């Protein structure tokens, strides 16, 4: 009986840990939808010429979004392809729900009580414009980001487990980095092609520069997070 009780407790702990990882994954996705609208120039003094002779311009979503691939690989390694794929689709559903309520909040009429003169806004309209500048997302951007997310994350899981099978479960660093590199490339191409070309009508040369610059930074982040993947995977397996 004690053995069965111990086994049941272990299963429950595994499910609790999986639920925690899914919650963190979903929270990062929602956070990316909120903060990712800001565009910034990376280290202008250090890289004044940037790539292709232009300043390096990125969206703040690059702070959080690459972390989702780290979590996907951790869940894939510990819990398998089925649960990793389930997490990806749960993240998609949570993102859609969050975007719906964010847009609903944008459309609700503001109150005079909301006015904050300390921030330089003296009317409800000024407050509303400031609010919309942060939370209003173009429909084409939502389509682009959600399509790119779903395709890239599913590809990441598939490649990860393909590599795990052909290497007999060895070389975690290989499947972590290779799966993320391919899936991040797919994500970057899809989201920028749809939004920048179809949505904004930018030229191919500019879109190509943005894709290359963004992808380089995503790969750097992927390489940096490899020790974190090893640390978390070993910790979860040990416990």
CA dist., res. 55 & res. 76, Å (int): 37
Mean pLDDT value across residues 178-202: 85
In tens, the pLDDT along 80-97 reads 999 999 999 999 999 899
CA dist., res. 69 & res. 151, Å (int): 12
**Res. 169 pLDDT band, cuts 50 70 90:** confident
Structure confidence at residue 108 (pLDDT): 93
**Residue 83 near residue 201, CB atoms below 8 Å:** no
CA dist., res. 88 & res. 83, Å (int): 9
Structure confidence at residue 211 (pLDDT): 85
> Which has the higher per-residue pLDDT, 93 or 135?
93
- For residue 111, pLDDT over 70 is answered with yes
Structure confidence at residue 45 (pLDDT): 54
Structure confidence at residue 82 (pLDDT): 94
Enter the tokens of residue 203: 């030229």
> Is the model's pTM score more than 0.85?
no
Give the lowest-confidence range in 27-31, 85-89, 113-117, 144-148: 144-148
Q: Which of 74, 82, 85, 4 is nearest to 236 (CA)?
A: 74
**Residue 61 near residue 35, CB atoms below 8 Å:** yes
Using CA atoms, how far residue 2 sits from 8, 9, 106, 227, in Å, is: 10, 10, 55, 37
List domains and CATH numbers for the chain: 2-238 (1.10.1760)
Average pLDDT, the chain: 85
**Kind plus residue range of the DSSP H or E element containing 76:** helix 65-79
Structure confidence at residue 54 (pLDDT): 64
CA dist., res. 8 & res. 237, Å (int): 17
Q: What percent of the chain has pLDDT over 90?
A: 43
In tens, the pLDDT along 28-84 reads 999 988 887 777 777 655 555 555 566 677 778 888 988 999 999 999 999 999 999
In tens, the pLDDT along 214-225 reads 888 888 888 888
Q: Which residues pair with 41 in a beta bridge?
A: 57
**Res. 126 pLDDT band, cuts 50 70 90:** very high
């Amino acid at each position: 009986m004690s053995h069965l009780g111990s086994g049941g407790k272990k299963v429950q702990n595994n499910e609790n840990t999986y639920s925690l990882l899914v919650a963190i994954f979903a929270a990062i996705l929602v956070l990316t939808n909120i903060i990712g609208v800001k565009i910034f120039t990376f280290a202008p003094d250090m890289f004044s010429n940037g790539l292709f002779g232009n300043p390096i311009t990125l969206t703040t979503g690059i702070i959080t979004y690459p972390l989702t691939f780290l979590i996907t690989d951790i869940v894939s390694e510990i819990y398998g392809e089925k649960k990793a794929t389930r997490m990806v689709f749960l993240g998609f559903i949570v993102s859609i729900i969050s975007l719906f309520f964010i847009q609903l909040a944008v459309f609700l009429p503001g109150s005079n009580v909301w006015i904050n003169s300390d921030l330089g806004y003296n009317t409800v309209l000024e407050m509303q414009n400031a609010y919309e500048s942060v939370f209003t997302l173009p429909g084409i951007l939502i389509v682009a980001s959600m399509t790119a997310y779903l395709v890239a994350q599913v590809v990441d899981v598939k490649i990860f487990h393909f590599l795990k099978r052909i290497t007999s479960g060895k070389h975690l660093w290989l499947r972590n980095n290779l799966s993320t590199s391919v899936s991040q490339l797919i994500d970057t191409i899809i989201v920028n092609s749809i939004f920048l070309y179809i949505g904004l009508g930018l030229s191919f040369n500019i879109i190509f520069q943005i894709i290359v610059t963004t992808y380089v930074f995503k790969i750097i982040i992927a390489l940096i997070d490899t020790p974190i993947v090893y640390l978390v995977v070993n910790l979860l397996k040990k416990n």
